[in-house]
Structure 1
Amino acid sequence: MADVGVQRASGRGIRGWMLFDWAAQPFFTVVTTFIFGPYFVSRMASDPVAGQAAWGYGIAAAGFAIAILSPVLGSIADQTGPRKPWIAFFAAIKIVCLCLLWLAAPGSNLFLVVLLFSLASVAAEFSTVFNDSMMPRLVPKQEIGRISNVAWGLGYLGGMIVLIFVVALMAGSPETGKTIVGVEPLFGLDPKLGEDARATGPLAAIWYFVFILPMFFFTPDAIKGMAIGPAVREGLAELKLTLSQARQRGGIFRFLIARMVYQDGVNALLALGGAFAAAMFGWSITEIGVYGIILNVVAIFGCWVAARLDTRLGSKVVVMISLVLLSIATVGIVSTGPGFTLFGALPLPTTDSGALFGTAAEKAYILYGLLIGVAFGPVQASSRSYMARSVTAAESGRYFGIYALAGRATSFAAPFLVATVTALSGSPALGMSVIILFLAGGMWLLAATPYPADKVED
């Protein structure tokens, strides 16, 4: 579609929109992945098996709700007018739920904590749906890729800053009571009561509230559109038509299915990998936070390299390489335990130096984590460029809507299976092994997919 009637928004309006990612990312970094999630699994539950199962079911429940409702909300975003009231509504839910995570002391009601986390996750995703739908009104089409990527980068930077703040100034050692830089935790937080991890919920809520305000104040919004009822009917009708067309274009349909499968594995690995390590090695908030910082630093390097490889070799090659690295990393982490790696084929000394990651097994886990850091950014970024190169400009909006749906439609499946296998087997490692099936299945489907995906039909 041409950019008819699209005028460039003011600089303040564009920057306000870009700050949404900066505001939203710390929830995923410090709450979901690296601080609160591992604390929940390793310290809140009666044992790591119950903790990993409960956390996995929470992620699965949120993913299921997102999969069911996101197409409807996507149609509302396309057809209705103002987005900001919807963003404000879901932001309020997210902020309240995050603040209530402070109550998640050891021994608290697991169901209530998981419910609060799941509601926050759903609200975060739906807020993103409406925020993303504002982008085409801000700049002409040729500039969308630039502001989208800068906003994505700001999100990673925001998450990194908050994570470093937590590790350096809030997360104290249960033994010494000091943070990694040797100071007392801010606000008198007691690490023995998990207050450093519990405080990440209110911290992420405050950060989100403060930094979404520029979007509300300065970013232009649509003025009017369809009423909600007609918008839902119109949007779902268009969604049904596009799905029907996609099935007739074999390459694109196969790519969407492949991405749906491997993205499930990627999401589960990111959401559960840190918690798995914390439970296995008894990592403190400090250690899991440093692990997260290492992964994010490596991820920046991975994206930088992948940007050049994508241009030279194509998106499919980058995605396949990334999936291979993630598969190797997953085999590595599930095969590692105190005193061994590679399922015991490589025994490791159990001596603990007393420093961060003081055992050989922990260092091996970090090495596998580096592979995850290198690959998890490129597998998502190059999947997006794979899709962009496979459709025409005139149909890109509709097909990227299906692309987004494919990324969420079964996002509950991998966490659900990880949680179920963990609960049934009593083995967190066996539960995490399920992720390999999703990565391998996605690679198998992608290997037979043409590049660009619509090449056969051209």
Structure 2
Amino acid sequence: MGLLGLGSAAFNAVMTTFVFTVYLVQNPAFGGEDYASRILGYGIALAGLVVALLAPVTGQRSDAGGRRKYWLGINTGAVVVLMALCFFVYPSPSLLFLGVGLIALANVFSEFAGVNYNAMLGQISTPSTIGKVSGFGWAMGYVGGIVALALVLVGFVLPETGWFGATAENGLNIRLVAVFSAVWFMAFALPVLLTVPEVPRQPEAAKLGFAASYGLLFRRIKAIYRTSPHTIFFLLASAVFRDGLAAVFTFGGVIAAGTFGFTLTGVIIFAIAGNIVAALGAVAGGFLDDRLGPKKVIAGSLIGLLITGTAVLVLGAGDYGIFGIAWTGDTTFWVFGLLLCLFVGPAQSSSRAYLARLAPRGEEGEYFGLYATTGRAVSFLAPALFALSISIFGEQRFGILGILVVLLAGLLVLLPIKEPARIPKAQTPAA
């Protein structure tokens, strides 16, 4: 499981967050930052809508048909092909829509693969080790981001002529990064696809047509609510705080560059360091998860994020003398930015472990489909409040306030929810 997380970092860290989307937005040949950002935003939003509508049903059907690993392979392969096709996105206004379309579609298939991938957690762990296994898998994702970003930096971004003769002319170096990312992802995905066993087939449920699966889905939500309403409440709480967690990484590089004056190289170096810290945090959180329970780990991590995020907001890029020590804006971001990364890992890992403990055997794909859907349903919150806070206060650093509000809201919704325990399979009434 850790290998697939390691491989998927090539898409999440390189293609979506730090390199390829930056290429689309910053290269003036695509129409300028404002225009390209707007098109990219619409594309990702549309991808999120598709995932929200289809993720729970696709997860449900892969569970019932005994084809969880099969669909993980199909969706992973689709992401790999779409990344490789990004090689053909030359710097040209007419190709912006191609680039955005490929990234958006890859996001859809990546989310579908994530549903099946997360659902496998119960297959490769026990109730006493599920936290450690989840934490290790998440940490491997961060390790993958570290190594992939480092290789991209030294092989394609820093040198005038990089690997395979890559130069910045016609965006060749970044287009080759797309091919590198595709090969990286597939190389680490294959061992998982070849070794993890398939789940048993459920013949009666597998006979449902696609449209009928939606009827079953809504009956399942009602049944889950009757059996364990805290499962539904957790899905809602996690949707909110996971949006805040995603925003920490999504806007971390933007804040580093805009508020604290980091160069692109500096942003990537910080990203590598941040992934190292997040990986360590995920592993430590995994051990604490099995001992204390996932709710305590998530709540503690969110409190840590609120404290360190507030420090970044209040201190900003100013220079201070603290306890006789010169404290600069760079110091502020490196210290508290890395602490933010430390707390993100455990919160993400324990959130997945929390739901894995709740999901009855054989229904993990459906539960993680709902997990993906609820997360997508509120994915506008942190970006909207980030932008609104900047508009109100007139400074980019105040965008952090919007993220903090989302994290606080998620924490408040989480607090009344019970610690998870494996629950009985919900009895679904007949249609």
Match in the other structure for 1:185 = 162
Partners in 2 of 1:128 and 1:115 — Cα distance?
20
Structure 1 residues 134 and 316, CA gap change in structure 2 (3 angstroms): closer
Does the alignment pair 1:414 with 2:381? yes
Verify the 8 A CA contact 2:115 2:365 in the aligned structure 1.
no
Q: TM-score, normalised by structure 2?
A: 0.77
Does the alignment pair 1:64 with 2:64? no
Which of 60, 75, 80 aligns to 1:90? It is 75
SS in 1 for 2:158: coil
- Spell out, residue by residue over 1:150-194, the C-alpha distance to the aligned partner (whole angstroms, 9 max, x if none): 544433333322122112332216xxx4xxxxxx52223224765
Match in the other structure for 1:365 = 333
- Spell out, residue by residue over 1:412-450, the C-alpha distance to the aligned partner (whole angstroms, 9 max, x if none): 323662687599889755656432332121122123334
Which of 187, 207, 212 aligns to 2:189? It is 212
Partners in 2 of 1:194 and 1:280 — Cα distance?
27
Match in the other structure for 2:277 = 298
Does the alignment pair 1:380 with 2:359? no
Partners in 2 of 1:270 and 1:371 — Cα distance?
13
| TM superposition shift of 1:102 | 3.2
Does the alignment pair 1:286 with 2:265? yes
Partners in 2 of 1:394 and 1:264 — Cα distance?
27
| TM superposition shift of 1:261 | 1.0
- Spell out, residue by residue over 1:286-344, the C-alpha distance to the aligned partner (whole angstroms, 9 max, x if none): 322211111111113323443454456543332223223323444555x4xxxxx6367
Partners in 1 of 2:260 and 2:34 — Cα distance?
14
Match in the other structure for 1:244 = 222
SS in 2 for 1:230: coil
SS in 1 for 2:7: helix
Verify the 8 A CA contact 1:56 1:419 in the aligned structure 2.
no
Structure 2: which 5+ residue stretches go unaligned? 322-326, 424-431
| TM superposition shift of 1:283 | 4.5
Verify the 8 A CA contact 1:35 1:285 in the aligned structure 2.
no
Match in the other structure for 2:4 = 20
Verify the 8 A CA contact 2:132 2:283 in the aligned structure 1.
no
Match in the other structure for 1:128 = 114
Partners in 2 of 1:106 and 1:418 — Cα distance?
32
- Spell out, residue by residue over 1:81-132, the C-alpha distance to the aligned partner (whole angstroms, 9 max, x if none): 4345544543443233212333445564443322221111111121233445
Does the alignment pair 1:326 with 2:310? no
Which of 158, 162, 176 aligns to 1:199? It is 176
Verify the 8 A CA contact 1:33 1:275 in the aligned structure 2.
no
Match in the other structure for 1:440 = 408
Partners in 2 of 1:442 and 1:245 — Cα distance?
24
Partners in 2 of 1:27 and 1:107 — Cα distance?
23
Match in the other structure for 1:342 = 315
Match in the other structure for 1:274 = 253
| Letter paired with 1:367 | V
Verify the 8 A CA contact 1:298 1:374 in the aligned structure 2.
yes
- Spell out, residue by residue over 1:237-269, the C-alpha distance to the aligned partner (whole angstroms, 9 max, x if none): 553233214444454433322111111121232
Structure 1 residues 71 and 239, CA gap change in structure 2 (3 angstroms): same
Q: TM-score, normalised by structure 1?
A: 0.73
294-303 or 281-290, which deviates more: 281-290
Structure 1: which 5+ residue stretches go unaligned? 1-16, 178-183, 336-340, 350-358
Structure 1 residues 164 and 432, CA gap change in structure 2 (3 angstroms): same
Structure 1 residues 374 and 144, CA gap change in structure 2 (3 angstroms): closer
Structure 1 residues 91 and 214, CA gap change in structure 2 (3 angstroms): same
Structure 1 residues 196 and 281, CA gap change in structure 2 (3 angstroms): farther
Structural RMSD (CA): 4.1
Match in the other structure for 1:156 = 142
Which of 371, 379, 395 aligns to 1:404? It is 371
| Letter paired with 1:31 | M
Partners in 2 of 1:265 and 1:277 — Cα distance?
17
Identity of aligned residues (%): 28
417-426 or 445-454, which deviates more: 417-426
Structure 1 residues 137 and 383, CA gap change in structure 2 (3 angstroms): closer
Structure 1 residues 24 and 430, CA gap change in structure 2 (3 angstroms): same
Partners in 2 of 1:74 and 1:81 — Cα distance?
11
Verify the 8 A CA contact 2:389 2:401 in the aligned structure 1.
no
| Letter paired with 2:241 | Y
Partners in 1 of 2:301 and 2:391 — Cα distance?
31
| TM superposition shift of 1:77 | 0.7
